[in-house]
Copies of this chain bind each other. A is one copy, B any other.
Amino acid sequence: MWNLHGTVAQEGDLAELVGSAHKVYIFNLKSGSEFHTHRGVILHDDLIGKSWGIQVFSHLGSPFFLMQPALGEILLELPRNTQILYPKEIGYILVTMGIGPGQHVLEAGTGSGALTSALAFAVGATGRVTSYEVRGEMQRTAIKNLDRLGLRDRVTLKLGDIANGFDETGVDALFLDVPNPFDYMPQVRKALKQGGFFGSILPTTNQVTILLTALRREGFAFIDVCEILLRFYKAEPDKLRPTDRMVAHTGYLIFARPVMLSQKEPIEISPNENAGEVDVIDPGC
Contact A212 B228 (CB under 8 A): no
Please tell me if A195 contacts chain B, counting CB pairs below 8 Å. Answer: yes
**Given that A233-B225, A257-B67 are contacting pairs, would A52 and B193 also be in contact in the complex, using a CB cutoff of 8 Å?**
yes
Set of chain B residues within 8 Å of A41, measured between Cβ atoms: 269, 271
- Bound CA–CA A42/B65 (angstroms): 57
Contact B228 A34 (CB under 8 A): no
Q: Closest chain B residue to A96 by CB distance? A: B72
Q: Closest chain B residue to A17 by CB distance? A: B281
Set of chain B residues within 8 Å of A103, measured between Cβ atoms: 4-5
Contact A4 B172 (CB under 8 A): yes
Among A47-65, those with CB < 8 Å from B are 51-61, 63, 65
Interface of A toward B, CB cutoff 8 Å: 4-5, 7, 18, 22, 24-28, 30, 32-37, 40-43, 46, 51-61, 63, 65-68, 70-72, 76-77, 87-88, 90-98, 100-104, 118, 121-127, 170, 172, 193-197, 203-206, 208-210, 212-213, 216, 221-249, 252, 254, 257-262, 264-272, 275-283, 285
